[in-house]
Structure 1
Amino acid sequence: MKINVLEKLRSRKATIGIIGMGYVGLPLALAFANSNTKVIGFDIEETKTQFINDGVSYFNHISSGSIKSVVEGGKFYATTDFSEISIVDAIILCLPTPLNQYREPDLSYIIRTMDNILPYLRKGQVLSLESTTYPGTTEEEISTRIRQKGLEVGEDFFVVYSPEREDPGNPDFTTSRIPKVVGGTTQNCLDVGVALYEGIINKVIPLSSTKAAELTKLLENIYRSVNIGLVNEMKMIADKMDIDIWEVIDAAATKPFGFTAFYPGPGLGGHCIPIDPFYLTWKAKEYGVNTRFIELSGEVNTFMPHWVVQKVSDSLNEHEKSMKNSNILILGLAYKKNIDDVRESPSVEIMELLQEKGAKVSYSDPYVANFPKMRKYYFDLKSQPITSDLLAKMDCVVITTDHDLIDYEFILEHSKLIVDTRGVYRNVESEIVIRA
């Protein structure tokens, strides 16, 4: 069975089924389709599948043309019909893994999807989980269910874990150019998993187990979380000492060894870094381990929106203006520059905190025209075009996302007060610019 599967994958005769047409699943589908492999995209949202089949992109960083070309070429289509899982040779799960209200892992998307596709699984398929999760998930939630169906993992069905490493909006690192980590439930599973990805990824790194691959992904994101937490704490110390943290970081970065520059901000955003560390802290308790570094960095990063709001309040006071009834413009809703992704964006929490203190909040983001549906937050707002009239009405502009499309010189010229959380004006000396 393994030989037949390997031959199909390597000869591009396999059909790939990707479940979840989001920020991870859609680029992956396009990578396979562009390699002359047939792809079926699965999603529960009919609007997404219809957009794909019409050749229309719903992400700013993915062109409609890139979708249309492979759809019209017969290499890619999308569906909400999960019974078509039975006709694919490889199944890749690109599903959300959020936290619940108690900061515990929520695997409901994975579990629900597995239960939905289980009747359609068959011998000769490979299933890869790409969602970030705690070590043991692939074995406990995927392989166990497959065995219960009567399939023998490693002999007639193959299971791997290969964490996504997408960086939306980064033109230097597309799906194919980012090395891919793969861990298999068995050696046979690993061999099949490597074959699945090596046709579209420049470099595939095999690991000894799915657990090792799961922990690798967590380490990558925890490394960033801890270092961002450190530099955010340094920023608060530097602020109290009246030292420019951006100058300090730039100076430290001149050291050619032993230092990697991380930069402060208004808090953590995106689906990975604000969430993934807590997957490991939760699992570590099962082994009696107290993850102090991880939890401390989480506390610092979670506090940053509150720090920003306090800086706004203090800055308004310095300008003889109270927070209540002040008009405040949030500049940038996305969690990072040049994309439209607002998942876990600190900008949104800052908006809510400001509103709770009586401020009148609006936002401007060239990538987010309307405030999107979110689980925790909702504002009936649309992005405001940056004009001199708008800025004249604002008591304070808070830069939370440093999009390249924004004309910062214009904003500096027409604003009364700017709180800069991204170092946009790090080299500008102005009484109206407050670094936060």
Structure 2
Amino acid sequence: MAVFERLLEKINNKEAVIGVVGLGYVGLPLAVEKAKSGYKVIGFDVQDSRVKQVNDGINYIGDVINEELSEIVKSGQLEATTDYARITEVDAVAICVPTPLDIYQQPDTSYVESSAKEIAKYAHEGMLVVLESTTYPGTTEEIVKPALEDRGFVTGETIFIAYSPERVDPGNKDFNTKNTPKVVGGITETCTKVAAALYRHVLEGEVHEVSSPAVAEMEKIFENTFRHINIALANEMAVLCERMGIDVWEVIDAAKTKPYGFMAFYPGPGLGGHCIPIDPFYLTWKAREYNYHTRLIELAGEINNAMPEFVVDRSMKILNEDAKALNGANIVILGVAYKRDIDDVRESPVLDIISQMKKAGANITVIDSFVPSFKIGGEILETVGLDQAILENADLVLITTDHTTVDYQFVANHSKVIFDTRNTLKGIEKPNKYIKL
């Protein structure tokens, strides 16, 4: 029996042991789903604290159900380790490590590189290696493939390599790791087939096969760039509508009544999270290799990155209307997470807003029940609960994250002035002075 057929048989019979490298927002939910589907799963992470939490059945990711994690750990279906030598035990491994930008806005693939090298040290014949981290087209073949082939493996014959982008949308109530369609592109046809077979046994969503890792890598970048650019358009419309005295939210509501040719995107205080503010710049960087300048992507980045400053400037104008300065003003920030109903502050535009306001001398109080504390620079700031006295003492209440767990009528009843960057108070009674982005 060929190497490919033996691995496929193990996958189909659920005798394969699956490894997941990186137990963060992408890796842990994936590890849980693979374990729930009947595979023995070993999670790998460099952080001792994460490994201990997983092995104790303690959840730290919002999209994972606490009881499910506890149950699969107790049953022995999932365990975690910092020991990469245990890669020898697995038949397939998914790489789910961060791919941030460095200080020069260039891709930092060091986590992918180190993971590929560690896996290569302990890889064996008949193993599947799938990269899931969002990255520029070419990464799988430029980084993962050489690391394994330098050990003497032949891709598509003795080792199988593919790319399948993560599509995690934290806080989404309808779509999660289990039911979101999956795209898979292998270096060879056999690589694609074996990777797709594994995902079909694990996930409920469609598994869509493409011709190469580069197509799958570009597909993920395209998804996030699409959102990046359309949000920039919505933000630019918000800035223009404010100057023209037009309600941009009403404009969008009217536009989306058209049943074709329009998809609603909404403005906000800026972009956050690990994907949309970062991933398009992977493509911008890679495009330079082909002597192409991605002007639209970079312009969209400029517009989105300018939104925190726009919010601060409007806040100053709102205060000035009441003969108050930002310096010395009591500002309540309602929400620091980058999007609703999650605890993630990575790249949150609210951090920039708070930093600018504190630098201007404002007294900042942050309310966010999902985020007990967060760091700006070297300073750790604590959040507080929703409190009538805090709201009544505020010169301005700034709604920056529209968590659905907040009693916004209570906020409206006890606030003198509200600046709402998310159109959160739509449909409820508002205070005398209510301003929307």
TM category (shorter chain) comes to over 0.9
> Is residue 2:310 matched to residue 1:307?
yes
2:292 corresponds to:
289
- 1:416 aligns with 416
What is the rounded CA distance, in whole Å, between the counterparts of 1:21 and 1:111 in structure 2?
Answer: 17
Query: Structure 1 residue aligned with 2:144, among 142, 145, 157?
Result: 142
Give the corresponding residue for 1:434.
435
Match of 2:366 among 345, 363, 368: 363
TM-score by length of 1: 0.97
Contact 1:246–1:423 at 8 Å: present in 2 too?
A: yes
In structure 1, the residue matched to 2:231 is: 228
Relative to structure 1, the CA distance from residue 83 to residue 142 in structure 2 (aligned partners, 3 Å threshold; closer, same or farther) is: same
One-letter amino acid of the structure 2 residue matched with residue 370 of structure 1: S
Deviation for aligned residue 1:378: 4.2
Q: How many residues matched?
A: 433
C-alpha displacement of 1:116: 2.6
Deviation at 1:74, TM superposition (A): 1.3
Which of structure 1's runs of 4+ aligned residues deviate more than 6 A? none
Structure 1 residue aligned with 2:353 = 350
1:417 deviates by 1.6
Identity %: 47
CA shift, 1:429, in A, is 5.6
| Bigger shift: residues 298-307 or 412-421 | 412-421
Residue number among 328, 340, 344 corresponding to 1:325 in the alignment: 328
Match of 1:276 in 2: 279
Of 272-281 and 113-122, more deviation after overlay is shown by 113-122
Secondary structure of the residue aligned to 2:15 is: coil
TM-score, normalising length: structure 2 = 0.97
Could you tell me which residue of structure 2 aligns to residue 26 of structure 1?
A: 28
Q: Which amino acid aligns with 1:410?
A: F
| Other structure's SS at 1:8 match | helix
Residues in 2 aligned to 1:412 and 1:64: alpha-carbon distance in whole angstroms:
34
Q: Distance in 1 between matches of 2:426 and 2:300?
A: 25
Q: What are structure 2's unaligned runs of at least 5 residues? A: none
> Once structures 1 and 2 are overlaid, which stretch shifts more, 227-236 or 108-117?
108-117
Asked whether the 8 Å contact 1:267–1:301 carries over to 2, the reply is yes
Query: Residues 133-159 of structure 1: CA distance to partner in whole angstroms, max 9, x if unpaired?
Result: 100000000001111111111110010
Alignment of 1:15-414 (within 5 A): 15-202=17-204, 203-372=206-375, 377-414=377-414
Matches of 1:336 and 1:377 in 2, distance apart?
Answer: 21
Secondary structure of 2:202's partner? coil
How far did residue 383 of structure 1 move? 1.3
State the one-letter code of the partner of 2:145. S
Cα distance between partner residues in 1 of 2:84 and 2:433:
56
Once the two structures are superposed, residues 5-42 of structure 1 have per-residue CA deviations (whole angstroms, 9 ceiling, x without a partner) of 11111111101100111111111111111111111111
Q: Secondary structure at the match of 1:109?
A: helix
Q: Tell me by how many angstroms 1:416 deviates.
A: 2.1
The answer to whether the 8 A contact 1:425-1:433 is kept is no
In the alignment, the residues of structure 2 paired with residue 169 and residue 37 of structure 1 have an alpha-carbon distance, to the nearest angstrom, of: 26
Answer yes or no: is the 8 Å Cα contact 1:246–1:426 preserved in 2: no
One-letter code aligned to 1:34: K
Task: Map residues 2-21 of structure 1 onto 2, 5 A cutoff.
Answer: 2-21=4-23
Residues 28 and 61 of structure 2 are in contact (CA less than 8 Å); yes or no, is this contact kept in structure 1?
Answer: no
Q: Counterpart amino acid of 1:161?
A: Y
Contact persistence 1:348–1:377 (CA under 8 A):
no
SS in 2 for 1:159: strand
Following the alignment from structure 1 to structure 2, what is the Cα–Cα distance between the partners of residues 61 and 194?
Answer: 23
Question: Structure 2 CA distance, aligned partners of 1:64 and 1:406?
Answer: 23
- Comparing 107-116 with 221-230, greater Cα deviation is found at 107-116
